Amino acid sequence: MKHVEVSRARAWRAPSARNEQGATLGALAALAFNLCLVVLAAASAAACIVIARDRLYAYEYSEAGARAISRRVERLNSELIQLEFDRQRQWDDLVAMELMARDVDAARGFLLSARGMLPARAANQLSREAPANASDAQVELAALELLTPGTRARYEATVPLLSRRAASGAASARGPAPPSPGDPRDFELIARALIAEPSTGSLQFILTGFSLGLAGDISPRTARGAAALIEASRREDYPAAFGVEIGDLVGASVPIESFRRAALANAQGEAAGAFDNSAAAFRAAVDPEHARRVRTVLDEIGAMTEATSHDTAVALVTHAGEIRDLPKLRLIAQSTGDRAAAAAKRLQRDGRLRGAARGELTLTGDLAASLSVAAGALAGLIFMVLFKTYQAGRRIWLRLRSDDDYGGELVDLSSGWRALKP
């Protein structure tokens, strides 16, 4: 008996109403999918605009956030230890080196970072003496016991203990008073140089003018921020990209060409650079909107100075990659105190330090509406993808079943077969 498989060729059939209905549904599904994509993109863009417009994502201080940031900075400081088997000795050496350099803030910062820098056994001992919610004064006293006798004695002789300061009720002044850039003699000297040669660097001149109140009222904190920024700009590790952005913003607040024209309009020669004439020209050249933005930047840096010290604020500024990094660094200073001093001084300028800060998003009605629309569009997209996946899987399964049915159709040709007669 011989068997042959029946040909699977099928006769052409006119499109049925069911096929036409399926094509219509497919077109509607594609339209709905594209519509969800457009709505999702528009709602997401609207949410971003609302966040930027209302400044809803802010780096504001909170107790819980400060503890989390402190732990992150402690872990960053722990990365300075190279030999895992000798962590406690290397930690002791770091404290001793800062004491020899008379850097009180960095020395205390490494001491307060002991929980993240010490080996497990010593860290557990420290945690028993100073639990997670302990004050910095308690952590300092507990960590002192883990230093070698020589380093401990030097620390107690050099660094004012936080516990003694709190007990005496002394003001928490941090280091020497920062230098003030608001010196009329410096302003006059640089003004003469700029009038004679416009290519002279203008950053210090403009910030000195701000500190003297020539661009509007300025707070002591803002003035301290100006002093820290001027000093940071002179350092070798001052970030180039940040420097360009700051230079452009500060330069736009008081265009030097406008200042020179105003100064030369009322006096000539040496008299043009005299303080009274150059100060009046400075006021005339101020751009109010850019000046407001400069004061905001200086206020952020000044807040770092208040939270830590002038030297720490200078070091923190060198970790900024762009202007919008300053609120992160300010929050780190406010949350970690002297821990930030140690980290800012020793860590590489690679963005890890500013990455320790986390902002908080405030939810408003406009933002909630935008996010709700975006969530609805995303849910629609997910439903469409799942539905089309189900349809495709079902079609494949039905096709496989149909193939099995055709494969089983065999014809018996053994009976009634006759040879053709010639």
pLDDT tens for 66-110 read: 899 999 999 999 999 888 788 999 999 999 999 999 999 999 999
Which contiguous run of DSSP H or E holds residue 412?
Answer: strand 410-412
Do 93 and 157 belong together in one domain? yes
Do 213 and 293 belong together in one domain? yes
Residue pLDDT, tens place only, 122-165: 889 888 888 878 889 999 999 999 999 999 999 999 998 888 76
Smallest CA-to-CA distance from 210 within 125, 302, 130 is with 302
Q: What pLDDT score was predicted for residue 208? A: 92
Examine residue 123 and state whether it is found in any structural domain, yes or no. Answer: yes
Examine residue 401 and state whether it is found in any structural domain, yes or no. Answer: yes
Examine residue 96 and state whether it is found in any structural domain, yes or no. Answer: yes
**How far from 73 is each of 10, 66, 67, CA to CA, in Å?**
74, 10, 10
Number of domains in the chain: 3
Token pair in block for residue 64: 């819980």
Do 143 and 191 belong together in one domain? no
Q: Interior CA angle at 328 toward 322 and 332, to 5°?
A: 135
Q: What pLDDT score was predicted for residue 178? A: 61
Which of 141, 168, 195 is the last residue in one of the domains? 168
Do 70 and 137 belong together in one domain? yes
Examine residue 31 and state whether it is found in any structural domain, yes or no. Answer: yes
At position 223, the amino acid (one-letter code) is: A
Name the pTM for this structure. Answer: 0.75
Q: Which of 22-36, 237-251, 355-369, 393-407 has the highest mean pLDDT?
A: 237-251
Poorest-pLDDT segment among 66-80, 197-211, 393-407: 393-407
Asked if the model's pLDDT at residue 387 lies above 50, the reply is: yes
Examine residue 394 and state whether it is found in any structural domain, yes or no. Answer: yes
Q: Residue 138: which domain range?
A: 63-168
Examine residue 164 and state whether it is found in any structural domain, yes or no. Answer: yes
| Per-residue confidence band for 171, with pLDDT thresholds at 50, 70 and 90 | very low
Do 113 and 232 belong together in one domain? no
Which of 168, 197, 232 is the last residue in one of the domains? 168
Examine residue 18 and state whether it is found in any structural domain, yes or no. Answer: no
